[in-house]
Amino acid sequence: MDASNKPANLFRQVNQGMVLLFLGTALLLFILRYGINGGTSPTPFEFYRTFFAFFILFTLTTMLLTFDFNPLGTFLLLFLSFTALVVIDYSLTDFLTIRLFLCLALQMAVLSRVQWPYNMGITALFSVCSTLLQDLPPFLGENTIAGSLFPIASFEIISFFMLLLFSGILHSLVVKYHDNYHKAKEQIEILNVTITKLTVFSQSLQSYARTAEQQAAKKERFRISREIHDISGYMFTNIIAMMDAIIATGCRSSEKTSELCMLVRSQAHDGLRETRKALHLLRNTEDDREQGIRTIYKIKKIFENTTGVSVDIEAGNLPSTFGDEIDLILFRVVQEGLTNALRHGHATRVRILLWIVDG
């Protein structure tokens, strides 16, 4: 059974139970009023035969009405139930007892097929028709089995109508509450799925931002390292070439040797300057990399932008960084805490307090 259909099936079973309760009550009232032995009862046997035959028909058709059928099948069942009810009413004088509970059973079965707000109109129509039905048996001919059915007091007519109307309105309101409850439940489930997807997206975005930053820093360090390598290679290659030239001259010309030495010195000086510049850039790249508490503030900003949830962070006495290993652990803990606050706590505001406790 599909889990989404369980509430609807349970509600249908409750309706069916109420229909059976009304039918059982009507049968019990009949037995208490007339007994069950037609042979020894002063009431003619035909009375019992008529009641039980049409009561069985009424019970079957009324219970079948609580199940889903096509419009033609529903109309046929409703016609049979109505016919059986007319015959039973014709045989009974019990206006506010057996007749009332039979009408309540049929009303419950009919309303179980109608949604809000149409069930309110059906309730009013059914109450009026059922009340008018109580005047119908005398027009079908003289009842020689059950005796005179009338006169019926005005308060009985009003009570009959009001009880049917109240029962129908109550059932309609329960149906409305049931429908609204399950619509709200479905919306909550959809919202939970959306929140889950949003938190996963936010978490992925945070991880991507951290990874992208690390990759960018890695590429920048690699570029600077290659630049240092190129500078060093160019510088030392030139120095070696000029030293070879000095050696080749055998220092025969002091002027030429002095000139070459000056060139070597200039080349070494330029190479050292370029190397220092590259190392300075490399050091700045390391300093600019998000570490420690700066990483926490960065994922805070990403989380706020993607979810709309406000996050307050109090860093307390935390240092700027604990080192790569502990920084990563701190990053994961805060990231998971933000995710759980949104996914399970449905938070609209998050406050993070970080503090190092001695011992």
> What's the pLDDT band for 245 if we cut at 50, 70, 90?
confident
Higher pLDDT, 79 or 95: 79
Q: Average pLDDT, whole number, for the chain?
A: 79
Judge whether residue 212 has pLDDT over 70.
no
**Structural domain total, the chain:** 2
Task: Classify residue 110 by burial, with Cβ atoms within 10 Å: 0-12, 13-18, 19+.
Answer: buried
Residue 303 covered by a domain: yes
Question: What percent of the chain has pLDDT above 90?
Answer: 19
Contacts of 294 (CB under 8 A, 6+ apart): 320
Which of 152, 175, 199 is at the close of a domain? 152
pLDDT band for position 162 (cuts 50, 70, 90)? very high
Q: Which two tokens stand for residue 51?
A: 């009641």
Q: Is residue 78 part of a domain?
A: yes
Position 141 scores a pLDDT of 52
- Cβ neighbours of residue 15 closer than 8 Å, sequence gap 6 or more: 66, 108, 109, 112
Is residue 352 a contact partner of residue 314, using CB atoms and an 8 Å limit? yes
> Who wins on pLDDT, 34 or 26?
26
pLDDT of residue 123: 92
Confidence of residue 80 (pLDDT cuts 50, 70, 90): very high
pLDDT at 103 over 90: yes
Provide the pLDDT for residue 17: 92
> Distance between CA 103 and CA 123 in Å, rounded?
12
Please determine, for residue 77, whether its predicted confidence score (pLDDT) is greater than 60.
yes
Q: Tell me the pLDDT band of 76, cut-offs 50, 70 and 90.
A: very high
Q: Does some domain include residue 180? A: no
Q: Which of 93-102, 142-151, 222-231, 267-276 has the weakest average pLDDT?
A: 142-151
247 lies in some domain: no
* Greatest mean pLDDT among 26-30, 116-120, 222-226, 314-318: 26-30
Q: Which candidate, 96, 72, 76, places its Cα nearest to that of 157?
A: 96
Q: What is the mean pLDDT of residues 54-67?
A: 94
- Dihedral sign, Cα of residue 46, residue 47, residue 51, residue 54: positive
198 or 59: which leads in pLDDT: 59
Q: Which residue, of 98, 119, 152, is where some domain finishes? A: 152
Considering 55-64, 146-155, 262-271, 320-329, the range whose residues carry the highest mean pLDDT is 55-64
Convert the pLDDT of each residue in 264-317 to its tens digit. Answer: 777 777 777 777 777 776 666 555 555 678 878 887 887 787 777 888 988 888
Within a 10 A sphere around the Cβ of 323, how many other Cβ atoms? 10
Contact 94, 29 (CB under 8 A): yes
Domain closes at, from 152, 171, 196: 152
Containing 312, the helix (H) or strand (E) segment is: strand 310-314
Position 159 in a domain: no
Quick one: pLDDT at residue 86? 86
**For tokens 């992208």, what's the residue?**
212
Can you give the residue range of the structural domain that contains 312? 291-359
Q: Is residue 266 part of a domain?
A: no
DSSP secondary structure letters along 3-62? GGGHHHHHHHHHHHHHHHHHHHHHHHHHHHHH-S-TTTSSS-HHHHHHHHHHHHHHHHHH
Query: Distance (Å, rounded) from C-alpha 118 to C-alpha 115?
Result: 6
Average pLDDT over residues 163-178: 90
C-alpha 22/C-alpha 38 separation (Å) is: 24
Does the bond joining 7 to the residue before it have cis omega, within 30 degrees of 0? no
pLDDT score for 107: 94
> Which one is predicted more confidently, 162 or 7?
162
DSSP letter assigned to residue 292: T
| pLDDT of res. 283 | 63
Q: pLDDT tens for residues 172-203?
A: 898 888 888 888 888 888 777 777 767 776 66
pTM recorded for the entire structure: 0.57
CATH number at residue 337: 3.30.565.10
Which residues, 6+ apart, have CB-to-CB distance to 149 below 8 Å?
Answer: 93, 137, 138, 143
63: Cβ contacts below 8 Å, ≥ 6 apart? 16, 19, 20, 109
Place of tokens 């007091």: 153
Q: Is the backbone of residue 252 left (phi > 0), alpha (psi -120 to 50) or beta?
A: alpha
- Cα torsion angle, 27, 28, 33, 36, sign: positive
Contact 105, 22 (CB under 8 A): yes
CA distance 215 to 61: 74
Is the confidence at residue 148, as pLDDT, over 50?
A: no
Among 156, 154, 48, smallest CA distance to 96 is for: 156
pLDDT of 20 reads: 94
58 pLDDT more than 80 = yes
Mean pLDDT confidence for 309-335: 83
Does the residue 223 lie in any domain? no
* Residue 354, pLDDT score: 86
Average pLDDT over residues 164-177: 90
Q: Is 212 inside any structural domain? A: no
How much helix, strand and coil, in percent to the nearest 5, is found in the chain?
75, 5, 20
Question: What is the number of other CB atoms lying within 10 angstroms of the CB of residue 85?
Answer: 23
Confidence check: pLDDT of 1 > 50: no
